[in-house]
Structure 1
Amino acid sequence: MFSPEGPTLRELAAQALSSVERGYDLLAPKFDRTPYRTPDRVLDSVAAALAPLGPFDAGLDLCCGTGAGVDVLTRLCRGRVTGVDFSAGMLDVARERAPSPGPEVSWVRGDARALPFGAEFDLVVSFGAFGHFLPRELPGLFTQVRSVLRPGGSFAFPVAAPPRPGSRGYWALLGFDAAMRVRNALWRPPFVMYYRTFRLGNVGRELSRAGFRADLHALPEFGYRPDGSPRVRMVVARAAGGGTGISRPAAA
């Protein structure tokens, strides 16, 4: 559908009518040839923005998929790097394409809402996975992330500004989310994937409740909107000290 090497419309339909886990098992062999894979431009920008905040030792890619975020961590971490995902199919592809040489990389099958780790990471990243979590799941998700971070550790992820109301992008995302809600109302098991539920204001509140203080970093490679705000930001959350919530430095 997307390219000669990508999934067909029939394959995408089979994925959409499956559970999230089973759907990604089916899509895994062709996932990297779809628009769903985080673009290298985003990965490179986040890696460059995180580099001055290091050095980092152990890193975790949360909901790692085929391992694009692990590639970022291998550039930033001096010690071991881990990818965790609940799709066995995605992990199989990740193992096959793992970078070498570099830090020790391990792949773990697990649910982000019940992470099978102790406080052993200095940096946790995640790319493109938050649409698979309902808003009510964010408190538990962020609490899990904090539980696996060492003191002083960071949780980082990019967030794109929402499309301007009335724009083509706005209606496209609204239509997709509406279609998914209808699908999930009529078909079981549900396939949770929504583009408009991960809102920066709500994210800031839930990070605060989980004990984080977050800073926003503009990713200038993606430009600015007419009001001067960045089109893409990186959130960097650390265990809270004197305050909580999201602060907005001048660059953001």
Structure 2
Amino acid sequence: MFTSQGPSLRELAVQAFSSVERGYDLLAPKFDHTPFRTPDRLLDTVEEALAASEGSFGDGLDVCCGTGAALGMLTRLCRGRVTGVDLSAGMLAEAERAHGAADRVDLVRADARALPAGLAGGYDLAVSFGAFGHFLPAERPALFSGVYGALRPGGVFAFPIGAPLPPSSPLWWAVAGFDAVMRVRNAVWRPPFVMYYRTFPWGGVRRDLAAAGFAVETLPLEHFGRRPDGSPRWRLVLARRPGGAQS
């Protein structure tokens, strides 16, 4: 799973017993050499789907941008400025190394649950990849309300979501085991490291998006195929702030 350039077992252990912010500061220089980075295949598929369904956008926001894997996608989809927001200074430093020369890209250190007032109403597209496991279900309303406030009327919050894994899948047991270990770790160790794989179910997410004011639809990401029952393995969620046309 990890390349020779990735973190050692000791480095991962140190990260696991740190806070989320400190853990990612430590992991940042090697993060892109781990399986935790969003795969290019997923980024490319989302970009293609957004371009086909929405066309181009004005300004773009990457919520929990990490090392900036999605910033290139946003610069191609958006005509205006692109902003990446992340809590980890270390991850932002890596994003700066990769994208700092782009004059349309700004990087902001902030908690996604409390986005800065300066971002309010400034974006036509917001995206997020691979970060939702860091938010407990009770924190989703603040997260979604903040993104809603950052969008202009007609703006879209887009993110991919996978179909539920069947209990017969070995991966189901792997993620269930990981979540169980993390719950034990957080019960006996401080500071907590919030990272769970099964706390973002589509039913609850849809309800929280709607409660924040979004009009929600999904598009199948056909590149990833369909399950035996015919449902897509991955969907692209398009949560739109009503009240205006895309700029």
Range class of TM-score, shorter chain: over 0.9
Could you say which residue in structure 1 is the equivalent of 2:73? 72
Percent identity over the alignment? Answer: 65
Could you say which residue in structure 1 is the equivalent of 2:129? 127
- Which one-letter code corresponds to 1:82 in the other structure? T
- How far 1:72 sits from its partner (Å)? 1.2
- How far 1:215 sits from its partner (Å)? 0.7
The answer to whether the 8 Å contact 2:152/2:241 transfers is no
Could you say which residue in structure 1 is the equivalent of 2:150? 148
- How far 1:99 sits from its partner (Å)? 7.3
User: 1:109 and 1:100 mapped to 2: Cα distance?
Assistant: 18
For structure 1, list consecutive stretches of 5 or more residues without a partner in the other structure. 242-252
The answer to whether the 8 Å contact 2:153/2:242 transfers is no
The answer to whether the 8 Å contact 2:57/2:125 transfers is yes
CA RMSD of aligned residues (A): 1.2
Bigger mean CA deviation after superposition, 31-40 or 112-121: 112-121
Aligned mate of 1:227, from 218, 226, 229: 229
**TM-score (norm: length of structure 1):** 0.93
Could you say which residue in structure 1 is the equivalent of 2:64? 63
Could you say which residue in structure 1 is the equivalent of 2:138? 136
Q: State the number of aligned residues.
A: 240
**TM-score (norm: length of structure 2):** 0.95
Q: Does 2:86 align with 1:85?
A: yes
1:82-125: CA deviations, max 9, x gaps?
A: 00001000000000011765x60010000101101221000000
User: 1:235 and 1:156 mapped to 2: Cα distance?
Assistant: 5
Which 4+ residue blocks in structure 1 deviate beyond 3 angstroms?
none
Bigger mean CA deviation after superposition, 31-40 or 1-10: 1-10
- How far 1:161 sits from its partner (Å)? 1.1
The answer to whether the 8 Å contact 1:71/1:99 transfers is no
Could you say which residue in structure 2 is the equivalent of 1:204? 206
Bigger mean CA deviation after superposition, 90-99 or 28-37: 90-99
Could you say which residue in structure 2 is the equivalent of 1:6? 6
- Which one-letter code corresponds to 1:148 in the other structure? A
User: 1:182 and 1:119 mapped to 2: Cα distance?
Assistant: 40
1:169-219: CA deviations, max 9, x gaps?
A: 110010000000000001000000000010001000000100001111000
- How far 1:239 sits from its partner (Å)? 1.8
